[in-house]
């Protein structure tokens, strides 16, 4: 049995409590959170978000990639968000490898050559937040009046600390 | 006052209840969920996920982009996930525009030419799930024995329905 089947069963209980209600497509707080896929970070409860409050964007590392920019432009231009929070975290999987070692591993495991591809690892989590905030600030596609903040989430304590 | 400052305050209350506990970096269920940034979908409660259970990846539409593949390869090869769920949803922002109209809007609002760029809109949500499952199945970077499932989440009822 796959976990997917378990999720479908659990979801039926969730839907029974959810009831039927139509919330607007546009997020109430006009905020988009850019963060990591990590399993130990549940964004909505950690930030106090209710259903309908904010867009939540997640990839490996919470990095500002071209696809993140695509998503943020849609978030802002189609759905009215005006603030971005870049939230990275302690003990991140993106801190566990280098591009070179990872490419060797992929070659060995999958027989695929990904040499030269940047998988966006980092070593210093505050620096990675600052680097991604800088990409957003420099992007022509993100208006200058959008509020951009950054923070690090501690997966052991649940505490979020601002990065300036 | 930005919402970010409010999130920091709310997060202090969350962290006080969180306590200190170190969960493993590798997700317990070995599942990665690929879904949309939509504010009305809170993935963890909707699927019954506890902290530490599964990777959650989110972009505009929940589309399988190159950055999603990057993230999934890290999820699988560095952190041991072996199952992927593609979860799109009703009333999606990706159903509200065409690439052409969106490029015109960006040109007008931001003065940036994005003509020719695919922002990955879709019309039929079941078809978009199938298209993204197909991209995963065809990718050299996703092993053939990875379990791939798809579903649509109804943002009005909270119910998730399998797509085959």
pLDDT per residue rounded down to tens, chain B (164 residues) = 799 999 999 999 999 999 999 999 999 999 999 999 999 999 999 999 999 999 999 999 999 999 999 999 999 999 999 999 999 999 999 999 999 999 999 999 999 999 999 999 999 999 999 999 999 999 999 999 999 999 999 999 999 999 99
Dist. CA B113–CA B111, nearest whole Å:
7
Is residue A147 within 8 angstroms of chain B, CB to CB?
yes
The beta-carbon neighbor of B59 closest among A30, A47, A57 is A57
Spatial distance between the Cα atoms of B127 and B111, rounded to a whole number of angstroms: 33
Does domain B23-163 sit in CATH 3.40.50.10540? no
Q: What is the ipTM of this complex?
A: 0.98
Q: How many CA atoms lie within 13 A of A26 on its CB side?
A: 8
Which candidate, B88, B106, B89, places its Cα nearest to that of B97? B106
Chains A, B: CB pairs < 8 Å: 262
**B31: nearest CA in chain A?**
A3
Q: Report domain extents, chain A.
A: 24-163
Q: Per the CATH hierarchy, to which homologous superfamily does domain A24-163 belong?
A: Carbonic anhydrase (3.40.1050.10)
Which B-chain residues 76-135 have CB contacts (< 8 A) with chain A? 77-79, 83, 85, 91, 93-94, 96-97, 102, 105-106, 109-112, 114, 117, 119-120
Contacts of residue B96, Cβ cutoff 8 Å, sequence gap at least 6 = A25, A78, B121
- C-alpha distance from A86 to closest chain B C-alpha (Å): 10
* Interchain proximity A21–B156, CB inside 8 Å: yes
d(CA A49, CA A43) in angstroms, rounded, equals 8
CB A28 within 8 A of CB A52: yes
């Amino acid at each position: 049995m796959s976990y997917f089947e378990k999720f479908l069963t659990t979801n039926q209980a969730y839907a029974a409590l959810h009831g039927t209600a139509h919330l607007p497509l546009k997020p109430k707080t006009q905020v988009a959170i850019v963060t990591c896929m990590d399993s130990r970070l549940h964004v909505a409860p950690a930030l106090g978000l209710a259903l309908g409050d904010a867009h939540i964007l997640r990839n490996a590392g919470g990095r500002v990639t071209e696809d993140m920019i695509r998503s943020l432009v849609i978030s802002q231009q189609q759905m009215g968000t005006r603030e971005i929070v870049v939230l990275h975290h302690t003990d991140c999987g993106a801190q566990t490898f280098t591009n070179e070692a990872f490419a060797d591993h992929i070659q060995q495991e999958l027989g695929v050559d990904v040499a030269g591809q940047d998988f966006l690892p980092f070593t210093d989590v505050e620096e990675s937040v600052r680097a991604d905030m800088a990409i957003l600030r420099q992007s022509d596609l993100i208006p200058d009046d959008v509020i951009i903040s950054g923070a690090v989430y501690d997966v052991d304590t649940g505490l979020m600390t601002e990065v300036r």
